[in-house]
């Protein structure tokens, strides 16, 4: 049975990630440490060979794609794979927003509220899932065997929570910077059920989690997801 592979890769570390800031639409670059860690990851482990790359328009993703796939200078910018826009909360930490009533309301139920000047969870989910459906159609129609999407944590988690099997919740798909998942698309199964098989973590052959900052970020997000009443939401925390 014919199948296609799509590799979802999160961008490298930024200063905002390290500081626990909400950074979605803000166009920050990788930090010097982020570049160094990506370079080390690439030397220690194996990233999948791909035929085509789709990329968020934001600099941190474009820079990541350039580091991981320097021979692919023709990657395709897909605006709908950009991270959620956090509006007035861009650049702020959860601690800085802890007394903001709108922020607390959003944490409790992000389906019914959104940041001032930002993007609602419904709109974010719709644009990301629609973009992924278009990509699958293009992959199958173009007979593209291996495709990479270099994007953001929230985008990856949204795609996998919506289409991935085995089924898991949004925050179960938290992924470290420079890492991600490989999924397999079987056209007949996609047409019937719109699901993709999650079959590996990216990069391959990674011996250990050697990034204390990434571990800290994962703990932050998991802690948020386990808090009483907090709805699943995305962010560059």
Q: Which two tokens stand for residue 211?
A: 């990034």
Express each pLDDT in 33-48 by its tens digit.
999 999 999 999 999 9
Average pLDDT over residues 113-139: 95
Residue 221 pLDDT > 60: no
Q: Give the 3-state secondary structure of residue 222.
A: helix
Q: Is pLDDT above 50 for 23?
A: yes
Task: Give residue 105's pLDDT.
Answer: 87
Tell me the torsion sign for CA atoms 234, 136, 72, 75.
Answer: negative
Q: Provide the whole-model pTM.
A: 0.87
Q: Which residue has the tokens 């250990």?
A: 208
Mean pLDDT, residues 195-221? 66
Strand spans (E) along the chain: 4-10, 52-55, 76-77, 146-151, 164-165, 180-185, 196-202
Tens-place pLDDT, residues 63-99 = 999 999 998 888 999 999 999 999 999 999 999 999 9
Selection from 184, 201, 188 nearest residue 6 by Cα: 184
Average pLDDT over residues 125-144: 97
- Residue 228's Cβ-side half-sphere holds a number of Cα atoms within 13 Å equal to 0
What does the mean pLDDT of the chain come to?
88
What is the model's pLDDT at position 8?
A: 98
Q: Which of 55-69, 83-97, 209-223 has the lowest mean pLDDT?
A: 209-223
């Amino acid at each position: 049975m014919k199948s296609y592979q799509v590799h979802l890769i999160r961008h490298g570390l930024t200063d905002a990630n390290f500081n626990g800031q909400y950074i979605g639409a803000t166009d920050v670059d990788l930090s010097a440490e982020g570049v160094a860690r990506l370079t080390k990851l690439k030397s220690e482990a194996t990233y999948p060979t791909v035929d085509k790359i789709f990329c968020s328009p934001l600099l941190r993703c474009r820079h990541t794609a350039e580091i991981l796939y320097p021979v692919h200078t023709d990657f395709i910018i897909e605006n709908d794979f950009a991270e959620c826009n956090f509006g007035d909360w861009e650049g702020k930490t959860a601690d800085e927003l802890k007394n903001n009533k709108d922020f607390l309301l959003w944490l409790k139920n992000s389906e019914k509220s959104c940041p001032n000047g930002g993007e609602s969870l419904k709109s974010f989910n719709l644009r990301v899932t629609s973009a992924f459906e278009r990509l699958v159609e293009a992959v199958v129609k173009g007979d593209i065997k291996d495709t990479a999407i270099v994007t953001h944590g929230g985008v990856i988690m949204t795609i996998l929570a919506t289409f991935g099997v085995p089924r898991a919740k949004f925050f179960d798909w938290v992924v470290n910077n420079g890492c991600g998942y490989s999924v397999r698309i079987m056209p007949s199964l996609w047409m019937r059920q719109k699901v993709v098989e999650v079959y590996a973590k990216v990069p391959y052959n990674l011996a250990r989690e050697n990034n204390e900052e990434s571990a800290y970020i994962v703990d932050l997000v998991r802690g948020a997801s386990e808090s009483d009443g907090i709805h699943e939401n995305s962010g560059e925390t």
